[in-house]
Amino acid sequence: MSLKLTDIVKRFKTETVLDGVSLSVGRGETLVLFGPSGAGKTVLLRLIAGVVDPDGGTIEIEGRDMDGVEPEDRGIGMAFQNFALFPHMDAMANIASPLTARRTGREAIAETVGKVARMLKIDHVLHHKPKELSNGQKQRTALARALAGAPQILLLDDPLRNVDAKLRFEMRLELPRLLRSQDATVIYVTQDYKEAMALGDRIAVMNGHGIQQIGTPEDIYLRPANIEIARLFGDPVINLLDVVPEAADGSGGVQVRLSDQPVALVGGYAGTVGTDCVLGLRPEAMRFVDPGTPGAIPVEVEAETPLNEKTVTLTLTQRGREIMVSRPSGMPGPDQGTAYVAVDAKDALLFDRATGQRIAPGAHSPALQEDVA
Ligand SMILES: Nc1ncnc2c1ncn2[C@@H]1O[C@H](COP(=O)(O)OP(=O)(O)OP(=O)(O)O)[C@@H](O)[C@H]1O
């Protein structure tokens, strides 16, 4: 079912938690709400579920205004952070509860519970009571219960928060398939950007009373709305360097200088010449090159951290600015001394230093204007 929020406002006493949130989620879509603690993600889910009421705005499900509609009549399944399992029932009965409430037959219940329990790897603890389950198992039991009911709208509040790293990794791969097979419209809350990118058809980035950006994972990663979002998505974190763009000789383009080496910006940034900007370079948009390579920037290697799939090197420019460079594991690179890096300028991001907003290339592009003419 589709879901539409328009201008939602929610206050607690004097604190405005949500200030004019609007959002549409299509039928069968998985929308991730991503943002730091206190951003209002849980409050938004509770509003959709109908367990708290908004102070302003409307919530529609499949075109129908939910004002005055009780939570149990909204066709919504939920798994919230605090588990809320029935303490006197074992995991099996907890998971089966939405089906028993509907008087589903015994065999159909056993089949559905078995299927979700296997997928969530809790089939060996189905006869345990909640107090005998670990936090991770409780969380998965709550998730299994929400899935077993096969609701048309599923609200999941950070369901992997208490799950250990290995299982979390596996679930990140398996959950999207499971959610898709349920054909439900899913709103999924997480503070983990990798989870957000793996699971979301779209991601809504929440911060400071509302949604700062909404888009596909690719949109958010490649075209973050501002510096804050660029920092939240990516590990290691994006390199941010203060720069003042200048006109490049002859070419009509715009360049910035890193350790006095010009780096030509790709796309039209003519309007930024002479203004205070921040250059955003993802560590994977930098690479080590041989000395003498045109545009090579000299750096001192400070430290190298081998991670599983990549190696991250912290370097210092001649002016003492830190730049992190990432390369796939196994690719050789310097581990000490002086080295040279080059920038994949097409992947560089430019932000307005005063507002933090990203400056889209092409806005003042001479090439673009010629095309239009
Ligand atoms: N019942 C309530 N009474 C008063 N304030 C509340 C209530 N529920 C939430 N808040 C406040 O609303 C803000 C947003 O809380 P919310 O739980 O939605 O954040 P969140 O983004 O889900 O964070 P987390 O990821 O840590 O769960 C917080 O400042 C919180 O203190």
Of the residues 213, 232, 251, which one is the last residue of a structural domain?
232
Q: Look up tokens 């994006």; give the residue.
A: 238
Of the residues 202, 217, 232, which one is the last residue of a structural domain?
232
Index of the ligand 1 atom closest to the CA of residue 43: 18
Do 42 and 160 fall within a single domain?
Answer: yes
Index of the ligand 1 atom closest to the CA of residue 45: 18
For the cut 50, the answer to whether the pLDDT of residue 174 exceeds it is yes
Do 172 and 264 fall within a single domain?
Answer: no
Q: How many domains does the chain have?
A: 2
Do 91 and 191 fall within a single domain?
Answer: yes
Do 366 and 296 fall within a single domain?
Answer: yes
Do 141 and 245 fall within a single domain?
Answer: no
82 falls in which pLDDT band (50, 70, 90)? low
44 CA distance to ligand 1 centroid (A)? 9
73 CA distance to ligand 1 centroid (A)? 25
Do 225 and 266 fall within a single domain?
Answer: no
Do 195 and 337 fall within a single domain?
Answer: no
For the cut 80, the answer to whether the pLDDT of residue 250 exceeds it is no
Which CATH number covers residue 172?
Answer: 3.40.50.300
Taking residues 15-41, report their average pLDDT: 94
For the cut 60, the answer to whether the pLDDT of residue 372 exceeds it is no
Do 97 and 218 fall within a single domain?
Answer: yes
For the cut 80, the answer to whether the pLDDT of residue 68 exceeds it is yes
**Parallel, antiparallel, or unpaired: how do β-strands 297-306 and 337-343 relate?**
antiparallel
Which CATH number covers residue 294?
Answer: 2.40.50.140
User: Residue 241: which of 302, 311, 297 has the closest Cα?
Assistant: 297
For the cut 80, the answer to whether the pLDDT of residue 362 exceeds it is no
**For 265, how many CA atoms within 13 A lie in the half-sphere containing its CB?**
35
Q: Which of 17, 83, 158, 187 to mutate to test the pocket of ligand 1 (most atoms within 8 A of CB)?
A: 17
For the cut 90, the answer to whether the pLDDT of residue 295 exceeds it is no
Do 191 and 61 fall within a single domain?
Answer: yes
Q: What is the pTM of this model?
A: 0.86
Do 187 and 82 fall within a single domain?
Answer: yes
Six token digits for residue 74: 């909204």
189 CA distance to ligand 1 centroid (A)? 13
Taking residues 83-111, report their average pLDDT: 90
Do 80 and 214 fall within a single domain?
Answer: yes
Q: Which of 8, 11, 42 to mutate to test the pocket of ligand 1 (most atoms within 8 A of CB)?
A: 42
Which domain, by its residues, includes 134? Answer: 3-232
For the cut 70, the answer to whether the pLDDT of residue 167 exceeds it is yes
Q: What's the pLDDT tens digit per position in 205-248?
A: 998 889 999 999 999 999 999 999 999 999 899 999 999 999 98
Index of the ligand 1 atom closest to the CA of residue 81: 27
ipTM: 0.94
Of the residues 173, 201, 232, which one is the last residue of a structural domain?
232
Taking residues 320-329, report their average pLDDT: 92
Least confident stretch, 71-75, 108-112, 184-188, 301-305 = 71-75
Plot region of 200 (φ>0 → left; ψ -120 to 50 → alpha; else → beta) = beta
For the cut 90, the answer to whether the pLDDT of residue 361 exceeds it is no
For the cut 50, the answer to whether the pLDDT of residue 48 exceeds it is yes
